[in-house]
A and B are shown apart, each in its own frame.
Chain A
Amino acid sequence: MSQGTKGSGSSTGASDHGYRGSALQVMRRFGITVWCELRAETTRGSFQGLLLPRSETSDDLHLVLKLDSGYNIGIRHDTVLSLEKTGYREARYQIPEREFPRNPANPNVKLLGTGGTIASRLDYRTGAVIPAFSPGELYGSVPELADICNIETEKLFGVFSENMGHEQYQVLAEKIGQAIGNGYDGVMIGHGTDTMHHTAAALSFMVQRPPIPVVMVGSQRSSDRPSSDAARNLINAAWAAGHGPIAEVLVCMFGPTSEFYNLLHRGTRVRKMHSSVRSTFRTLGDIPVAMVEHGKVTILHEHWMPRRSDRDVLIQPHWDERVTLMYYYPGMRPDTIDSMVDCGYRGIVLAGTGLGHVNRLVYPALERASAAGVHLYMTLQTLWGFVQMHVYETGREILELGVVPLANMIPEVAFIKLSWALGLHGDDADAVRSLMTTPLAGEMTDREPHDGYLVLQGGVPEVEAFVKRVWR
C-alpha cells in the first residue's frame, strides 16, 4: 500500500498558524509553537495537550489545545501562568491513497474539479474541509468508484462555489470539448452546491449537443461526516457519466433526503431550493430526466438526448459581463434601472411578479433603457409558470416598452443565457433576441405537465398520509 503525502498544506501558510495578538504573545513569552505538546498552568487549573493551529477567523485571545482524549479546548491568554513544552508532534492529514485500478472493460470518465468538496479532509488552520481529489485520494475514500469506471481527474480551479464565474465556465466548456475529443465516455464535474445550477446552465449553452453525458455533482452535507451524501452522489454520478444513456448537461444529486436514489436534473431546469437539506436540487416546471440508483439509470422524461458515438459538439465559450438580473419589488424606483444603463449594462433580466409584471413607476426607465439599446427580458419570481404579458393591461404596456418575455425560463438561467448570447453575438441585437427566444437545451418548454409543480404542503392530512407512507 502506498501512502500518499498529501495534506502537508495544512501546516504551511502563515507562520503563526492563525495565532496573533495576545495569544501569540503568550506563546512567544514561553517559547511555545504550534504542534508543541505542553503543560499549561492557568488560573483555572492545569491542562495538558497539543497546541493546535487556530482558525484565522477566531479571536486572538485563546490557545487551542488538543487533549489526549481527542477533545479540543481553548485557554484564554490572561489565565496562563506558565506554559511548559513537553514534546512536539506535528499532525498531517492523509487520505489513504491507492492507485486507481484501471479495468479496460469499464468506461473512461474524466472528472474535472472546480474546488467543491466531494471527498475531503479537514484543515486545522481554518477548520475547513479540504477536498480529496486525485484519483488515488478518491479511490481511498470511495473505492466503489473503481467498479464503475476508470476515472482520470483534472483539478481546474480551487475556488468555492460562490466564486465560480464566467472565466471558470469558459475553461470548463473548453475542457469538456477536449475530453469529448479525447474519446472519454463521460465527464463529471465536481462542484460546490451553491451555484451548481448557474454553472449547469452556462455549460448547457456553451457545450451544445455533446455526444456524452456531462454530469455535475457535489455534496450538500459535508463529506467529512458519516451521513454525507457525497459518496452516494459520486457513485451515482459516475454511473450516469460512464454508463448512462443521456448525453446532456445534468446535475446528479440526492432525490429525497433519505439515501435511496439520485435524480438527474436537466442543467437548465434545475435550481437549489433549500440551504441545507440533501434533497435541495429540484427540477422546476418539469420532471427530472432520470433517476439513478444501484447502478441503474431509470429514465423519467419522454424527451432526452441519447448518447452518441461521434465526437461532434459545439463549444461556444462566450460571455458578456454587462448583464444583470434585477429582482423587482413593489415601489422599485426607476433610478435603479437608470443607473444600470448609465453604468453601461447591455442586458437586464427582470424577475417580475405574477405573470411578469413591474409597476408603472419604472416604465420611463425601461423606455430609456430600451432606447439605449439595452436588451430587456422578463422572467418570473414565482419560478414556476410562464410569463404571460397579454392577460393584463400592465403586461401589454410592458411589452410595448420593448421587454421580451422568456416563457418559463428560470431567472438565473435567463441571466446566464443572455450573458452568453451577448458574448456570442455582440452587437447583433436581432441575433441575440432570436437566440434568447429559441430554446436550446430545455431552458424553455412548450408545456408544463401537471406534475411539474409539486410542492406538497405539510400539515394537510392527505399529504401527511403520503409522507408517512413514502420515505421522505
Chain B
Amino acid sequence: METDSYASGGWVLLLRVLSEQVYMSEHAAPVPDRGIRPPGDLNPRQDPPLDFIDRPLHQMEPSDYQVLGYISGLEVHQQLLTDSKLFCRCPAGRKATEVDAAVLRRMRPTLSELGEYDGTALMEFKTRKEVVYLLERSTVCTYEMDDAPPFHIDEAAVRVAIELALLCNMSLVSELHVMRKQYLDGSIPTGFQRTAMVGLTGSIPFRVPELGVDRELRIRQLSLEEDSCREVSDVGHRITFRTDRLGTPLTEVVTEPELLTPLELQAGGRLVARVARATRKVRRGPGAARQDVNVSVAGGRRIEIKGIHHHRGLPLLAHNEAFRQLNLLRLRAELQRRELDPSALALPDPGLPWELSDLIMDATDLLANTGHRPLRRAVERGETACAVRLPGFGGLLDHPVQPGATFVRELAERVRVIACPPHRPFLTYSDTGHADLSKRHWRQLARSLGAAAGDAVVVVWAAMDDAATAAREILTRAAEAFVGVPAETRQALRDGTTGFERILPGPDRMYPDTDTPPVPISDSVVAEVAGGRGETPWAREERYLRLGLGEVAARRLASSPWADLFDELAPAAGSPARQLSTALELRLPFHSRKHGLSRADVLPSAARLEPLVRALEQGALLPYALHPALDEALGDPDRPVGRILASYRPLSADDASPAATIQAVVSRSHLLDGKPPEVVLRWAMGEVLRPWRGRLDPHQVERALADALGARVTTAEAMT
C-alpha cells in the first residue's frame, strides 16, 4: 500500500460531519425541547405578563416582581481553607504565576450512568475545542491532569462541609459517594468534576428588616467538590486554562428558588456567605466565593447565570435576566401572532447545510467584492460566507432583549460559542440599521434565497465547517424562539447583562466515580464536628442583643470581620459593649482605608486593645476618649498602650482646670465675628477639646462655651 493513500485530507471533515450525525440526531429536532430537562425547570406560572411596563431596577417594587412571577435561587460556591487540595496533596490556595509546561487535551461526550448522552455534552463536543492546560510545578501534579487516580479525600475539607451542613440544619448523609459531574468545556482536565453530596433539606433564618423579610431560607443541598481551572483565553477553537485553582475543595450550597426579588437574592447570597464564614475555615479574597444564580419569570424557565464573584452586581443581573425572559416571551407571542411554525426552520442532517436547505446558501462568491471590510478580509482568508433566511422573522432580529442588545445577539452568541469563529465581527443581518452590505447585495441575497419582505437574512462567515455549524446554530436558536426561553447557562457580563455560555446540563451528566470508595460519615465524627462548630450569624446576633446592642448594631457587628475581636475583648454588657461596637465599626474601616489594607488585615490583636476596654469599663477611659485612644493604638502600634491610657485619663483634682482654656478660646472668638453663632460654637468646641484629648465631657464644655460666648457677645453689643 502506498504511503500517500493514508494522507488523504478529506477524511477529517467527513469524520466531523459523521460524528455530528451520530451524536446530534436528537439535538437537531426543530423544537429544541429535547426532553432532557426535568419539568421542574419551568417557572410554576405559565402566564407571562406581556403588557408589563418595563422599568429599571431602582423603580421596581417587590409587588412588580410578583406580577412578573419572578423567582430566583442561588448556588454558592465557597472555597475551603484547607492545606491541600481535595483529592491530591498539592497545596491549596497557591496562585501560579509561571508556566512550566502545558498539556493539550480534547473532550468527547461519554455515556452517562443511565446510558444517554447529555445535551450539554453534545453541544460541547460540537464546538471541537482544543484545550490547553498551563502547569506550574508547585501547584499541580499528575492527579489534576487526569494522569493519576485520586488520592484519599481530604478529611479537613469533609469536616468543614459537615460543619456547614450542620449550621444550615441539614440532613446529613451517612456515606459520601463521590460522583463525576461532566464538564466538557475543558475547565476540568478529566472532563468531570468529582463531587459528593453531604447534606440535604436545611433552612436558615432569613431576616432582612430593610426588605421586610423575616422568614426561613430553605437550603436544598450541600455538596463538597473540587474547583475547576481558571480560564486564561478562549480564541477560536483553542481554550487555555490555568491549573493552580483546580482541585481546591469547595462547598456548593443550593437554596430553593424562593428569593422573590433581586434584592432578596442579594441578601440571600450575603447570608449564605456569612454562614460559611462562621466556620472560620473558608477562603477569602477574589474568586474564593462565587455564585451561580437561577432566575425565571412566569412563562419562562430556570436560567443559570454562572460564576458571579460579587454580591454587588447580583440584583442588576437578575433584574436584566427577568426582563430578557419577558422579552423573549414577547417575541414568542409575536411569532405566534404571525402564525409562523418552527418546522419551517428544520434542517436535515448531516451534510453541508447550504447543500441541504433552501434557507441557506453559500454566498462567498456573491459577496467576494463587498465593501464591508470584515467580510472582505474573511473571504481573503479563504473563509466561507453563508446567508441564512429566517422566514417570517423580518424586524424581529431588532427585537429588544436586554439593555443595549436585541435578538440578533442571541443568535450571535450561539455562533460565537458553538462555531468558534476566531475573528469579529462574524455576522451581519438584514434588519434596520445594518448598512454593512450594499442594497444590491441584500437584493441579490434575497433573490437567491427566495426571501420575501417579511423574512430576515443573516450573513455569517468563518472557516467552511465552522460556517456550516454557524448556519445550523442560527436556525436552531431561531427555532428555539418558538419555545420562548431556551434552557441555558449564561455568563455574567460587566454591564449587568448576560451572554450565552452553554445549554443547561441535566442530571444525566452525573455518574459514580469508580476511582474512589464511599466515605462513611460516622456518628462520632458528626458529634466531634458539632461540638466545635462555629456560631451562626443569627446566634451571634442574639448574643449581641443580650449584651445590650441595638438591633441594627447587633446585626452589623455579627456580620463584621471584627466580630471575633469584639468577642475576645469581651466588653461588659450595656454601654461598654455598645461603645466598643460603635468605635470598632467607625475606626477600623477608617484605618484599613488609610493603609490600603483589607479589613481583615488591619485587625489588631485583642491583647493590644484589651487595656482600653477594661479602662472603659472602670471609668478610667471616658467614652469620648475611646475613639482617639483607639486611633492611637491602631495608628502607632509601637506606642505602649499604658502611655495612651495615661494621656487620656479623666480629669482629676490635680489637673489644671479646663476653664482657662475655655477663657482663652473665647477671647480669640472675635476673629469669627459675623459668622453664625453655631459656626462659632463648633469652632470653639474643637479648639477646647483638642488639647484635652477626650478627657472632657463635651456636653459640659458645650454648655460652658455657650454661656461664655453668649456673655462675650452681650458685652460687645453693650459697648457699641
Contacts and interface: CB of A to CB of B under 8 A. Distances in A.
Interface of A: 1, 7, 42, 44-47, 58-59, 61-62, 64, 67-76, 79, 91-96, 98, 121-122, 124, 127-129, 139-141, 143-144, 146-148, 221-228, 231-232, 239, 243-245, 257-260, 275-278, 294-297, 307, 464, 467-468, 471-472
Contacts of B190: 225-227
B105 A259 contact: yes
Interface of B: 1, 3, 5-8, 11-12, 14-15, 18-19, 21-23, 25, 38, 99-111, 113-117, 121, 142, 145-149, 170-177, 179-182, 184, 189-192, 195-197, 200-201, 221, 223, 507-512, 514, 517-518, 520
A467 B137 CA distance: 12
Contacts of A139: 22
A227 B100 contact: no
B181 to A, nearest CB: 8
Nearest to A276: B148
A226 B512 contact: no
Given A46-B201, A129-B514, A225-B190, A74 B110 contact: no
Rank and list the top 8 A-B pairs by shortest CB-CB distance, nearest first: A45-B171, A74-B175, A226-B191, A70-B510, A70-B507, A76-B174, A72-B177, A94-B115
A241 to B, nearest CB: 12
Contacts of A128: 514
Nearest to A95: B111
Nearest to B113: A122
A257 B145 contact: yes
Contact of A73 (B8, B117, B146, B173): B173
B175 A296 contact: no
Contacts of A79: 174
B446 to A, nearest CB: 38
Contact of A71 (B1, B104, B106, B510): B510
B303 to A, nearest CB: 18
B147 A276 contact: yes
Contact of B6 (A59, A71, A297): A297
A47 B520 contact: no
A226 B18 contact: no
B121 A226 contact: yes
Contact of A228 (B22, B108, B170, B182): B108
Contacts of B181: 70
Given A46-B201, A61-B520, A226-B108, 20 more contacts: A47-B200, A59-B520, A69-B197, A69-B507, A71-B510, A74-B175, A74-B176, A74-B520, A93-B113, A96-B117, A122-B514, A147-B14, A147-B18, A224-B111, A227-B107, A258-B102, A258-B103, A276-B147, A277-B148, A472-B102
B624 to A, nearest CB: 53
25 contacts: A61-B520, A64-B175, A70-B510, A71-B195, A73-B200, A76-B174, A76-B175, A93-B111, A128-B514, A129-B514, A140-B22, A141-B111, A143-B23, A144-B19, A221-B146, A224-B111, A224-B511, A225-B192, A227-B146, A227-B190, A228-B108, A243-B5, A245-B1, A257-B103, A275-B148
A45 B189 CA distance: 36
A70 B171 contact: no
A471 B189 CA distance: 15
Contacts of A98: 22
Contacts of A472: 101-103
B115 A277 contact: no
Contacts of B105: 227, 258-259
A76 B108 contact: no
A354 to B, nearest CB: 30
B177 A73 contact: yes
Contacts of B509: 70
Contacts of A7: 115
B21 A222 contact: no
Contacts of A73: 173-177, 197, 200
B179 A243 contact: no
B518 A297 contact: no
Contacts of B197: 67, 69, 71-73
B139 to A, nearest CB: 15
A182 B177 CA distance: 49
Given A72-B512, A96-B117, A140-B22, A121 B176 contact: no
Contacts of A69: 197, 221, 507, 510
Contacts of A231: 108
Contacts of B8: 295
A245 B3 contact: yes
B295 to A, nearest CB: 19
* Most B-side CB within 10 Å, residue of A73, A257, A278, A464: A73
Nearest to A129: B514
Contacts of A278: 147
B478 to A, nearest CB: 26
Contacts of B148: 275-277
Contacts of A226: 107-110, 121, 182, 184, 190-192
A431 B5 CA distance: 43
Contact of B146 (A64, A129, A148, A225): A225
Contacts of B174: 42, 44, 62, 73-76, 79
A297 B101 contact: no
Contacts of B175: 62, 64, 73-76
Contacts of A141: 110-111
Contacts of A471: 102-104
A471 B135 CA distance: 11
Contacts of A92: 115
A147 B15 contact: yes
Given A122-B512, A245-B1, A71 B110 contact: no
Contacts of A47: 171, 173, 200
A411 B7 CA distance: 38
Contacts of B508: 70
B522 to A, nearest CB: 9
B326 to A, nearest CB: 28
Contacts of A95: 111, 115
A245 B2 CA distance: 8
B177 A74 contact: yes
Nearest to B101: A467
A257 B105 CA distance: 8
Contacts of B15: 144, 147
A40 to B, nearest CB: 10
B206 to A, nearest CB: 20
Contacts of B19: 143-144
Contacts of A228: 108, 110, 191
A307 B192 CA distance: 41
Contacts of B106: 227, 232, 259
A295 B101 contact: no
A144 B110 contact: no
B115 A295 contact: no
Nearest to B189: A227
A139 B22 CA distance: 9
Contacts of A59: 520
A44 B5 contact: no
Nearest to A235: B15
Nearest to B174: A76
Given A143-B21, A468-B99, A295 B146 contact: no
B103 to A, nearest CB: 5
* Most B-side CB within 10 Å, residue of A144, A243, A297: A144
Contacts of B23: 143
B564 to A, nearest CB: 30
Given A68-B38, A226-B190, A467-B101, A58 B146 contact: no
Nearest to B149: A276
Nearest to A458: B137
A74 B12 CA distance: 46
A219 B186 CA distance: 20
Nearest to A4: B115
B22 A74 contact: no
A71 B114 contact: no
B693 to A, nearest CB: 59
A93 B11 contact: no
